[in-house]
Each structure stands twice: as structure tokens, then as C-alpha cells.
Structure 1
């Protein structure tokens, strides 16, 4: 009976948390941590046969994988990693796809078990699952869902609560820690002034023009990316103090309040590596989690739920250039806004094309730019060059004076 109650509790939590229509850009799925690749589709699977999030048929009324949110961020992140590591890497993605398209081959990748790797000549070690955790971080910045078993179940409950904007207090990053809404990191990342973590605008349309909102969103995203880039390269050490001054420069609420710790104990790893894990593991993961948080911004900026992009030819290559950055509060006010937001966070067509044949429909997509960013981290490319590249690729805006009445790329309506 206790086991049945545990399963039921997890299903309730999983339904609320993982199916929330809030500002998740493309979907993530901490429940199902095996990535599935096929010539015609992308999917996800549990790490073991008995999985509380997957066995939805155990509860009457829940079946057919109702709780199986897509692993869109995870797939995008892993494609970028694979492209960077190159054809010589013993991979499994595009480089191992079935050459005979009439016989699609199902490939699986358990990223939790991928060994630490480094691409020669760089000696910088990377952990694939830490980078993927980082791609979750923007949606789950207090790292609720990084645990297992009961800890994971409790994390789902906490994540569910984070998506209730009317609550006065929310769970912090540690057990028995509560935070007021206005100071809560997760609440602010979705409803407050940290929407740039999802490449969305915190400004309302009445307060600024579309062009101004897009430019401000880009500026704020680049401020965060520079901060995270310095952590990813090691220029900002994992044990460096995360001061109130740094928090203010990023628009972050107090991390001390969110973790219920003293300010003197707040380090860079406090922000990017979950407590309750051996300190050495937290230190090693911090740079990769910071890198993954950059990937998340790249990826969300390509979500039709977050931005409008139009096709444009740039130096002979097809680009998806930015024209608008949306505001979630505006979307949520619409009768079907939340549902439409979620509806547009599925696997995009350009990603399925890449999965099938390795070709980039848009030369500035998050896979291509993510692979470039990994190279920049490993070679410690100067920030000025990184910013220039990002403005010219992933954050490239539509050309001035060009009138384009075509619909936004990938935009779907209910």
C-alpha cells in the first residue's frame, strides 16, 4: 500500500510539474534520461524497465505515456556535443544512423553513463550529463529534479509549486527552505525579470517597441552568457564568491535566501551544482552546468513559443533571423495562450532534418552554434570574439528595411 501511494503521489506531481504550460522553451524531461534516435523520429526512454514516470498504466485513467514530455533540450544539447567531438568520436547519433533509409535503426544513448571526455588537443574534461543538467538549469534553477527516488519525487512537487504564480512562498534549494515569491529564483526565471534565461522579454509591449524589446533581451542574454562562459572556461573558479554585486549585475535574487545559507558561504558552485552531492563532484560539474545554461538560451531563442524568426540568406547561407522576443505574461493572459505556448515547444522540423541526415536547415541553429561554443570554451576564445560571433549567428536580427510578411518559422496555432 505504501508503494502504491508513492507511485500515485509521483504521478500527481509528475503531471503537474512536467506538463505545466509555463515558460518552458523547448521541452525537457528529467524523468526519462535515455535518448532515442531513429531515422524518422526522436524519442526518450527510462533508464530502467521499472520507472515511476513512465509506468503510467499502473494508475487508472493514465496511460500511453501521458507524462512523457519530450527531451527536446537534451537532444539539441547532445547533437551539439556530438558535432563538436567529430566524426572520429565513437558516437551513435548522425554518424551511426542506418545508411539504408528503408531499414531505420533505433539507437539509444544513456547520457548518465557517458564517460568524462576531452577533445584533443584540449585537455578540458567534459561531462555530458552535467552539460545536459545545465540545459535543464534555466527551467529548474534550484535543481529540484536532479535527484533520484524520494528526493526526485519531492523535487517534482517543488517544481510544480514553482509554476503557481499566485503562491506567496516557494520551496528553496534545500530541504525545509522556503522563499518569498518576489525573491524566488525559479519564479523570477519564468514570471519575473529573468525571462532572458529563456530568451523572452520581461518588457510589456506597451512599454517598448518590438525592436527595443528584442535588443534588450539580446543584451541581457549576453550578460548572462558572458558570466556563464567565464565559469565554463574556468576563468571564474567554481569556488569564487557569488557576491551580491554579481547577483545584482545579473538581475538574480539572493542565492543565499534561495538556498537558506549564509552569504559568506555562497559560491559559484552554489548556483550551478546541487547541494547534497560530494563537494569534489560539485566542483567538477559546475563549469559544464554553466555551459549547458548557455545552450538553453540558444535553444529557447529558436522556440516559436519564445521568438519569431524569419528566413533570410546571409552570405549565401540560410539563416533564421530574429524579429521578435515574446513576453510570457502576455501569452498567459490569452485564453489559450499557455496551451499554445506548450504546443510550440515540440520537436522542430529543422531538428528532425538534422537527426535524419546531419544537414543544418539554418546555418545559425542551436546545434551548430552550440558546437562552436564548445570549441570556444576549450580554446578560451576571447569574449569579444565570442560575442561578435553570437550576434552574427544565433542572435542575428532581421536586416533593417526588409519587410517580410511571411509567418514566423515553425509557428503553429491550436
Structure 2
């Protein structure tokens, strides 16, 4: 009887042991399958991440990871060596637990976040506007540049502030110098904006001071493209025409200026000098008092010397509005070359007297120097009245030149981003 009970107990224990062994084997096999599934998913994701589409098997995962690290920057590469090494050990180690594979998955997510390419195209989330670029080019060409344009030369000069001949000269030089203004196709094969359209948008902003977005309806060009065109246009104009125009007069220019003065009844005249106050609406509050003078708003002073053909060959910009014309003159480099003996010679004769120094027409605030010819207040004779009338009329040249560039100065706050706010002069 005892033997039978013992036999039954042994059979029962054997059955329980077999069931326990079977259950443990099942759990081990399920855990191993789960680990293999996770490992396979990680290897596939890692292969897609590091290779960008290559077919990577488990045997090549380590080589692909090394290649991916070599493509990174040295600082990032050194930081990722430890993570990649630990990740590969977890993948190759059969004794790794489920928690280890969870850690590997988290490490893979961090690696994917670091490997995301930097965004270099359109701004994500912004609305895409399908503009008809070719329609804008054709409309602009038919309106102004065709053989029989819609708008004539008078309208062209009024809207572009220059003749068509001068505009085409500037546009040709800018397009030849800067690849940005050359019409090309983008990555999708679409034809881009023409040089005429980009330069027209930049000149409209300079001439009228209008916002960039206001030109979109007429030119079919985005606001960001117009602003970029304006920045590049200003840089290219300085690079192309700076050496020829943004300089002090040489001997040839001085002779031409003197001929213009003789034709107007002022032999020896080199131009007209004056100052204008440009309102600085974005002046910092801490500097308001420094830039406020006779005007109620902060201003910056521009001193200029211009000829009859609106050539501003001297410009001194940046002095605070609290100064007047005399203070600006004392700091201006207008007479620096003359004082250094580097100015071109000027020789002329008036009433039998020889002179070797040119002069400028100025208003009454300037000092009584031999280089300034001012008007006569309260003329008492016909001769003095005629002189005052002619002098004041001729002095309108610099006021006309300052008036032409006053709208362009409205954009100078944006253009000053290319340099500094310190006073700068051409001469």
C-alpha cells in the first residue's frame, strides 16, 4: 500500500515536473521570439536610418553603423560611439533580457532624432502659393520692355525713377555679375523669376518705399524673394558700380563739373552742398534725446554734394539729429583731401583774378569761408537781386538730389544690416 502511494506520488510529481518544464520552455521560447522580433525590427530600422535605403541584414548591421558614424561631424561622432557600441552589444548578446531590448529601442529613438537631416527647403507648415511666374514675366515685359510697350517712356521714368536705357544697363550688369539674378530652373524643373522682375521689385521698393508684399499681385513674386532680391541687388550695385561712382571726383570729373558750372554762370563751382534730416522711426528709446534736434522725432543727418546731373559725389551719413549743418561740416571728410593736398587742381579766372580752389553753393547757415558761395539776403540792387535769384535756383540741384533719395532712405534701416551705424562717407 505504501509502495502504491509512493508510486502515485512519484507519477504526480513527474507529471507536475514535466508540466513545469513544458511551461518554462514555452515561456523561454516566447521570450526568445519576442527578443528576436524586437531585434529584427531594430536592425531593420537601424539599417534604414543609417543607409538611407540599403538592404542591410543582421550580419552587416555593425558595418553600416560604422559607416553612418563616419559621415557625422567629429564632435557628434565621438558622442555616438558609446551609444552605437552598446546598441550593437545588446543586439548580439543572446542573454539580453526584455528590459535590455527596451533600452535598445529607446537608444534607437534617440539616435534617429540625432540623425534627422536639417531642414533646407520650404518652411514646413506654410501655405504653398502656386504663382504663375511666366505670366508675371510676360506681363512685365509687355508693359515696359516690348517693342511696342503698353506704357511709354514718360510713364517708365515716373515709375522706375530712371530711363529705360539706364535701367537696362543696370539690369545687364547685375545679371552678369550675380548668378542669383540669372533665370534658371529649380530642382523641380520649373523656370524661375527673370532678372527684370527681381530688379524691378528691388527698384520699386527703393523708389517708393513700399512693402515687399504689395508687389506680389502685380509681379507674381513672393515677399521673401523680393526681400532677398533687394539685399542682393544693393550688394551687387556697390560691387559693380562702386569703383566708378561711389568715389570722389578725379581730374576728369573735376573738369566736367567746372564746365557745367561755367555753363550755369558759376565758373569754378564743384557742386551744391546741403544737409537733410532723415527720420529714424525705430530709434531706441535710450537714444532719443541724442537724435532729436529741431525736429520732434529722432533723425539722422545726411550731408551731400550734388551736381546738376544728380551725381552725389560726396555723402556723409550717420550724424545724430541734434547737430546742425555746421557741426556736421566740422566732422565731414569733405575737405580732407584738400587739406592733405590730394585734391585735383582747380584753376579758373573771375573778373581778371586767378583762383586755384573750387567752391560750393550753400545756404546762409554755412560759415563765410572762401569755399562757400552763399546767397545775398535782402538784396538792395538789381545786380544783387539777380545773383541771389540765380544762386538759389542753382542750389536747388542738391535739394532735388536729396528729394530723389529721400524715399530710398526709408529702407536704410534694413540696408544698414549689411554694415554698421557709424558715419560713413563716399569722399
Same fold (TM over 0.5): no
- Which structure is higher in helix share? 2
Relative to the length of structure 1, the TM-score reads 0.23
Tell which has more relative contact order, 1 or 2 (C-alpha 8 A, sep 6+).
1
- In our comparison, the structure showing a higher alpha carbon Rg is 2
